Amino acid sequence: MQISAYIHDLAARFEAARLCYGHGTANPFDEAVYLVYSLLEIDFHVACDSLNRKLSETEFDLLEGQARRRISERRPVAYLVNRAWFAGFPFNADERALIPRSPIAELIVKDFAPLLKSPAQNVLDLCCGGGCIGLALALRWPHAQVMLADVSAQSLDLAWENVRLHGLQQRVKLCQADLFAGMDTRFELIVANPPYVPESEYAELAAEFGHEPRLGLISGNSGLDIPLRILRAAADFLTDRGILVMEVGYTAAALSARLPDVPFLWLQFDHGGDGVLALSREQLLRYRDRFN
């Protein structure tokens, strides 16, 4: 079978199996391309239709083995191929951390303009998981010092692998902490993609999410526990003109309803996604008592 034909066939099987997307792709065809290109190590810039070469028997067996796991185990492709792409950069991915997919990638590619006039020198990626946000920033901003912080030792192990993958050991530090506990640095930019799924909704998530660490998803009864803790504390770890950018996803509505007088700046995205807010240190201080 030709590679391109295999991709189309696989996409049809994914569609029939009613898989859940959203762990790096948004539809069955892209999901099939992701699996096939990754396992065969094909450059993503090669158009599918130009892949007329026939699969070898070994290649076919390799692809079939993982395609079947995608369908029967509902395991996301990133965990099958151990690779995810974020803001244009490759990262190691496995079950130790959530699969990178935040719309914050788009802010990174735009260097956070117009929120920032120039690259921040000192950045905290809070709740970093495998480190994709902070490391993509370090790759774009060659003068930035970056701290990757997470409470999970397993996630930080993966993050360190990614630091080494990109040769960033000199500019990136890791910190294992419950949010800001024990930190004594101030940052120009804090970026956070914390857990924000309400405990009661976790069981309703598609099976694909069950392969990711619960710690990366659940945040108390309302989903707001960790975002509110970050809003309360962040001002103490920002420089005077510092900014917090935080994803709260679909919990944005609950946050706005609970804090109607806080002027959250909800960022807009050209490539999809929402629920990412920005607040200055000054605003975080002004509204601090509301975050209790």
Ligand X SMILES: C[S@@+](CC[C@H](N)C(=O)[O-])C[C@H]1O[C@@H](n2cnc3c(N)ncnc32)[C@H](O)[C@@H]1O
Does position 195 interact with ligand X (CB under 6 A)? The reply is yes
CB-CB contact of 104 with 193 (8 Å):
yes
Q: Please choose, from the candidates 21, 168, 194, 14, the residue with its C-alpha nearest in 3D space to the C-alpha of residue 104.
A: 194
Binds ligand X (CB under 6 A): choice among 80, 120, 127, 284: 127
Residue closer to ligand X by CB (options 10, 230) is 230
Select from 252, 193, 179 the least CA-distant residue to 222. Answer: 252
Please tell me the count of residues contacting ligand X according to CB under 6 A: 21
- Least distance from ligand X to the Cβ atom of residue 94, Å: 13
Binds ligand X by CB under 6 A, chosen from 129, 223, 227, 275: 129
Which position has the token pair 């605003």? 283
| Binding-site member from 7, 35, 87, 97 for ligand X (CB under 6 A) | 97
Whole-angstrom Cα distance, residue 24 to residue 203? 21
According to the binding rule CB under 6 A, does residue 151 interact with ligand X? yes
Select from 35-43, 70-78, 93-101, 232-240 the region that touches ligand X (CB under 6 A). 93-101
Task: Please state the closest distance from residue 150 (CB atom) to ligand X, in A.
Answer: 4
Helix (H) or strand (E) holding 66: helix 57-72
* Under rule CB under 6 A, residue 150 binds ligand X: yes
Q: Kindly identify the residues of this chain, within the stretch 208-237, that bind ligand X according to CB under 6 A.
A: 215-216, 226
Q: Using the minimum distance from each CB to ligand X, give the nearer residue, 134 or 242.
A: 134
Nearest approach, Cβ of residue 84 and ligand X (Å) = 9
HEC secondary structure over 257-288: HHCCCCCCEECCCCCCCCCEEEEEHHHHHHCH
For the chain, how many residues are written?
Answer: 292
How many whole angstroms separate alpha carbon 64 and alpha carbon 134? 35
Interacting residues toward ligand X by CB under 6 A: 97-98, 100, 102, 127-129, 132-133, 150-152, 155, 178-179, 193-195, 215-216, 226
